[in-house]
Structure 1
């Protein structure tokens, strides 16, 4: 059975939309069905159908998936159907059929990132996963945690908690704008390590520049030294292929509500089997299962929705998704390159690229541009701490979206 046909067979989409989506004479403005997606004659039409399946208004240019990704009507419908089922018999269904479907999401996550189900914990977001590490890792005063100055505040929180409670030292590598090569980054990370380094925490895809961290080369350095290698994966799953075994990371924390386009407040944490004895958290004291005595009652509906979003990703194909995001980002960068008054701070090296393009402004105010864009229904990201802007290019975006944004940028910058 093909991936797309399997997606249709297993999808709960029909539970939500039987009266409107599967009728013989579907209205012209009705959202696409799983059959429509599976039978798309080419990729361009497939991506158009994905855009039509979103709840975003037609005139809204959404270039901020890096903050929150829009869920498809299918995912929203799955969550809604699960909530209705739950409330029809809360105890019976929560620990019955819905609980079984929720637990199955751990397996979907494992398949998606190349892990075993025993290595997966379901969380609410990337931050919660890294905070879990921060509350349980046994460090000694003076032990060092190496990270960068480009990390998200949520990821940093767990690290600084370790510094405050264990006497550990957080060291931050000064990252270049923009990075030139994977070798340059590996050298910076290696130069920051000492005999006291116990943890290295890095973003798989930078929230500031969109740079892809060369984890394979870095893990070749950390693994022999028994240094825990932790990945903040908030910006990676859903736009690039993630294989935790190939990357060589020990922990990988991510969210479902960005590039995976899943329900908000969903996420997962991968902990490599070989290091699980070192990560003794109260949250996983009983087991890593979706529901346990330590986890307490979970939001089964949104977790099941995360599973639905993973199914959609698998159906489309992550390599196809990555190619689309990279092509749009390359087009955006090419159009920006050489424009006066700004500098691209996303890397140009192919091995470091992602679907994110960020620019640093010379004099124009990033907030003023951000506000003007928003007034014109163009949603981008204002980067705090920098006079910079970030554009996230996902599969539902088009070159026309990029052109409209760039036209507005040129207009505002004069």
Structure 2
């Protein structure tokens, strides 16, 4: 897998295949894949179809290993501590199913986590007689210290694992997970960080963070095709993780040096081409000054978030600084029907933007990436004014 020389764009909007007639503010849900990375995806898919057996049995595993090495360099970790998974929810299921929870044990989280992960912990905790504690976080946040104070109020001598997002889904907030990891270690409990929105969005050094378990999506802010994510597990915990799907890697006839990889990397026949595009995505970001571009996007979010909140009569969910706000901003709104509101924004105004509800509060979450402009945000502002005049937002 070699880096292409033709991945430098003067206008990065041209790199994306998004519809011209849609104002796209929902990068946070599934991302969008630039043309060179998508072409790499299709190149691997064609190679798969030219000789399926050789690809899946021989070449594919070598490609996968090379891809993991490149991702590990990007995330600052050991490649043998990474396995690829289709999405972070899959990774959470691996850990939740395998964790040796007993009746009465507790998993401490927050009440602003991603719904699919909440459901996963509810399911496995109920199965094992444990409790999933969704500690209430006071919003808006006033400081990092206030968040930490709220969070640790949920800790008890029964807490066995801390689970929380580094960047939340509905609220779009960046949480102080480094401090959480440090304090959890001091208290002697494991930490699992859901970093679905992190890679390609804000800097991530897994060695420095030192979480026991970490999952992140590559198909969001890291620009790869859909269905490419990873699970990072510290070496001392790997053998306790059972395969979510039992396949040929379990008690393998040809074991590798890593049970972790044998158990979790191959789960039967599937197209894993999306995983193999990660080196191309890293090269694309490097060539196109992604850190600088991300900073410009973050500045745009921070400029417009207070303005849009004021328009609908609400306030930002935290101080509008790099500490809490990245390339996503969530606007608290009052409305009768969030689903209808989302559909109206799309059908009438051609704006693709999520309207989510958490703890009874609706949020319009806008994501900004390199193809978005001030004109896009003016379009959103005008749409919100119209909806407010029609009393669809109040």
TM-score, length-normalised on structure 2?
A: 0.88
Alpha-carbon shift at residue 296 of structure 1 (Å): 3.0
Query: Does the aligned pair in 1 maintain the 2:170–2:357 contact within 8 Å?
Result: no
Query: Does the aligned pair in 1 maintain the 2:306–2:315 contact within 8 Å?
Result: no
> Which whole-Å CA distance do the structure 2 matches of 1:296 and 1:347 have between them?
47
Q: Give the one of 370, 379, 382 matched to 1:395.
A: 370
Compared CA separation, residues 292 and 238, structure 1 to 2 (3 A) = closer
Alpha-carbon shift at residue 93 of structure 1 (Å): 2.5
Please state if 1:102 is matched with 2:94: no
Secondary structure at the aligned position of 1:105 is classed as helix
Q: May I ask how many residue pairs the two structures share in their alignment?
A: 376
Alpha-carbon shift at residue 307 of structure 1 (Å): 3.5
Q: Give the one of 205, 211, 221 matched to 1:259.
A: 221
Q: Give the one of 3, 24, 34 matched to 1:11.
A: 3
Secondary structure at the aligned position of 1:91 is classed as helix
Tell which deviates more after alignment, 229-238 or 306-315.
306-315
Secondary structure at the aligned position of 1:397 is classed as coil
Structure 1 residues 270-289: aligned runs within 5 Å: 270-281=232-243, 287-289=259-261
Secondary structure at the aligned position of 1:387 is classed as strand
Compared CA separation, residues 118 and 60, structure 1 to 2 (3 A) = same
Secondary structure at the aligned position of 1:262 is classed as coil
Gaps of 5+ in 2: 390-394
- List per-residue Cα deviations over 1:213-245 (Å, max 9, x = no partner): 111111121112331111111111121111122
Compared CA separation, residues 120 and 380, structure 1 to 2 (3 A) = same
Query: Does the aligned pair in 1 maintain the 2:30–2:219 contact within 8 Å?
Result: yes
Alpha-carbon shift at residue 172 of structure 1 (Å): 0.8
Matched with 1:58 is 20
Matched with 2:392 is none
Alpha-carbon shift at residue 346 of structure 1 (Å): 4.9
Query: Does the aligned pair in 1 maintain the 2:219–2:229 contact within 8 Å?
Result: yes
- List per-residue Cα deviations over 1:145-201 (Å, max 9, x = no partner): 001111112222332233122111111111222211111111122221111110110
> Which whole-Å CA distance do the structure 2 matches of 1:371 and 1:292 have between them?
39
Compared CA separation, residues 305 and 52, structure 1 to 2 (3 A) = same
Compared CA separation, residues 292 and 89, structure 1 to 2 (3 A) = farther
Alpha-carbon shift at residue 99 of structure 1 (Å): 3.2
Alpha-carbon shift at residue 110 of structure 1 (Å): 1.2
Matched with 2:157 is 195
Q: Give the one of 220, 232, 237 matched to 2:194.
A: 232
Secondary structure at the aligned position of 1:192 is classed as coil
> Which whole-Å CA distance do the structure 1 matches of 2:356 and 2:159 have between them?
30
Tell which deviates more after alignment, 273-282 or 331-340.
273-282
> Which whole-Å CA distance do the structure 2 matches of 1:237 and 1:119 have between them?
16
Please state if 1:161 is matched with 2:123: yes
Query: Does the aligned pair in 2 maintain the 1:291–1:298 contact within 8 Å?
Result: no
Query: Does the aligned pair in 2 maintain the 1:240–1:321 contact within 8 Å?
Result: no
